[in-house]
């Protein structure tokens, strides 16, 4: 029986599962209330599903693995050090990169700066916008700096027109701002729908791999902070980058969530200025700027983001509760982890925290979930509860177990080197991490085996 022209189908916004009727739970990804209704296409064949030839109209032939040639110089440097770090050393030709983040966080500004660096280096770049006019892009470009003639601008949302333009120009890099505004006439759904987003991403994926063009696409985010549309969008691209941070604050964090060509543990730190996004070469010094002196409840801990150690100030405020149920609040770290650490202090150390309000904050608005900051949270809570100040030049890191033991963490040597560089004189760390440490001159290292040993220091 032929499909009706006006028939509707239901798509899962998480995984793209298709159903003829609405269901509360998706059979594919088991997510609840994710189905949206869309009108089924009655038009021609899908561009991404019925292609029998390569991107240039020629049949794709299989190749032997031993015959595939590659060199270390394949990556294109953007000359933005923080971005190159997150990408794994530069842009890989033929890669498809998704950039997501809250509105106004700086996605378009960063990509326009990337275009500036690439075209100044001799690369031809095509910037395609479906949300802004040419004059609006020009205003932002004048704020960033000078541009040459290698940057071409196009305001278009039709996929067929965009494909034709890319085939004619054959640029080395393309920026799509944004994927939710692109539409294909072969899909009857509205722009931004699950069908259109999936279709557009499939088209750009074929262009990137077939023409060996590096493509950046901007993705809108939902109120939960994830890219709008099906999660299959993130599976189709090679790299997923997220912009984090409060848009009212001065700094931004670029985090790699997925990267087929490098590590997903690296982060890039930027500062928003009038002329655009500027790199923060030393994030630790930037995060500790403005730290209060001679204040209890303030402890500096160290977290590893990929190969980069970052020192962060942990603040805690513990006070008696005026109500029957004490209030607990955590900003920048896992709320349940803070409750667990407070339970360890009450059971293993004997601190009566069950009747106290507790507030834990990671200064600067950064979000860290690494277990290595456990000991720093514990020391900050105890310092506030006992009104005892922790030495301003003391660094603390280590994972805390349920038995009150301090467990080892990775890359202790790099953390110590970062502490020495910023002038810290004492470091409290797990005793098991002290084995094999070298070049500890200039800093006093104290190894602790339990939470009680660390508390005894203050």
The arrangement of strands across the sheet holding 239-244 comes to 151-155, 125-129, 173-177, 214-219, 96-100, 239-244, 251-259, 267-273, 276-279
Q: Could you say which DSSP state residue 33 is in? A: S
Mean pLDDT to the nearest integer, 222-250: 76
Provide the pLDDT confidence category of residue 52 given band limits of 50, 70 and 90. very low
Helices (H), 256-373: 283-287, 335-344
Mean pLDDT to the nearest integer, 140-165: 93
Lowest mean pLDDT among 50-54, 81-85, 388-392: 50-54
Mean pLDDT to the nearest integer, 228-256: 81
Q: 398-443: per-residue pLDDT in tens? A: 999 999 999 999 999 999 999 998 999 999 999 999 887 877 788 9
Contact 159, 184 (CB under 8 A): yes
Mean pLDDT to the nearest integer, 177-183: 91
Asked whether the predicted pLDDT for residue 204 surpasses 80, the reply is yes
pLDDT at position 451: 96
Q: 318-375: per-residue pLDDT in tens? A: 999 888 889 999 999 999 999 999 999 999 999 999 899 999 999 877 889 899 999 9
- Distance CA(215)–CA(91), nearest Å, equals 10
CA–CA distances in Å: residue 417 to residues 81, 268, 305, 430, 454: 21, 20, 15, 16, 21
Q: Could you say which DSSP state residue 432 is in? A: G
Asked whether the predicted pLDDT for residue 37 surpasses 90, the reply is no
Contact 450, 404 (CB under 8 A): yes
| Dihedral pair phi/psi, residue 58, rounded to 5° | -105, 150
Torsion 430-435-438-444 (CA) sign = positive
Asked whether the predicted pLDDT for residue 50 surpasses 50, the reply is no
3-state SS assignment for residue 165: helix
Average pLDDT along the chain? 87
Provide the pLDDT confidence category of residue 43 given band limits of 50, 70 and 90. very low
Mean pLDDT to the nearest integer, 293-297: 87
Asked whether the predicted pLDDT for residue 151 surpasses 90, the reply is yes
- Determine what percent of the chain is predicted with pLDDT higher than 70: 90
Q: 271-283: per-residue pLDDT in tens? A: 988 888 999 888 8
Residue 383 vs residue 289, higher pLDDT: 383
pLDDT at position 225: 60
pTM over 0.95: no
């Amino acid at each position: 029986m032929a499909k009706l022209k006006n028939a509707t189908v239901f798509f899962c916004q998480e995984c793209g599962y298709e159903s003829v009727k609405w269901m509360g739970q998706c059979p594919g990804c088991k997510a609840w209330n994710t189905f949206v209704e869309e009108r089924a296409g009655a038009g021609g064949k899908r561009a991404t599903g019925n292609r029998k030839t390569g991107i240039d109209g020629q049949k794709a032939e299989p190749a032997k693995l031993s015959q595939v040639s590659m060199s270390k110089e394949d990556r294109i440097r953007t000359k933005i050090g923080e971005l190159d770090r997150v990408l794994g050393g530069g842009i890989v030709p033929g890669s498809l990169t998704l950039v997501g983040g809250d509105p106004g966080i700086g996605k378009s500004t960063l990509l326009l700066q990337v275009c500036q660096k690439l075209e100044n280096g001799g690369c031809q770049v095509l910037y395609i916008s479906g949300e802004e006019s040419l004059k609006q892009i020009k205003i932002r470009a004048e704020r960033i700096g000078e541009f040459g003639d290698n940057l071409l601008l196009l305001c278009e949302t039709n996929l067929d027109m965009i494909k034709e333009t890319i085939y004619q120009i054959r640029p080395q890099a393309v920026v799509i701002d944004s994927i939710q505004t692109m539409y294909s006439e072969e899909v009857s759904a509205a722009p931004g729908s699950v069908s259109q987003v999936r279709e557009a991403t499939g088209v750009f994926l074929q262009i990137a791999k077939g023409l060996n063009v590096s493509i950046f696409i901007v993705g809108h985010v939902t109120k939960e902070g994830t890219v709008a549309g099906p999660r299959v969008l993130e599976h189709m691209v090679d790299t997923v980058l997220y912009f984090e941070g409060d848009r009212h604050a001065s700094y931004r964090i670029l985090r790699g969530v997925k990267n087929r060509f490098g590590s997903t543990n690296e982060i890039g730190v930027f500062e928003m200025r009038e002329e655009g996004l500027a790199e923060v070469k030393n994030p630790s010094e930037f995060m500790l700027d403005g730290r209060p002196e001679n204040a209890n409840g303030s402890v500096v801990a160290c977290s590893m983001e990929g190969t980069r150690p970052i020192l962060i100030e942990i603040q805690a405020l513990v006070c008696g509760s005026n109500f029957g149920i004490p209030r607990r609040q955590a900003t920048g770290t896992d709320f349940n982890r803070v409750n667990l650490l407070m339970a360890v202090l009450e059971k293993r150390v004997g601190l009566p925290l069950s009747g106290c309000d507790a507030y834990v904050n990671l200064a600067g608005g950064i979000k860290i979930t690494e277990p290595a900051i456990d000991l720093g949270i514990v020391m900050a809570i105890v310092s506030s509860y006992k009104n005892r100040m922790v030495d301003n030049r003391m660094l603390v890191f280590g994972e805390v177990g349920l038995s009150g033991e301090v467990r080892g963490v990775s890359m202790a040597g790099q953390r110590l080197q970062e502490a020495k560089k910023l002038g810290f004189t004492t470091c409290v760390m797990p005793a098991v991490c002290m084995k094999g440490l070298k070049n500890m001159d200039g800093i006093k290292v104290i190894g602790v085996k339990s939470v009680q040993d660390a508390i005894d220091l203050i």
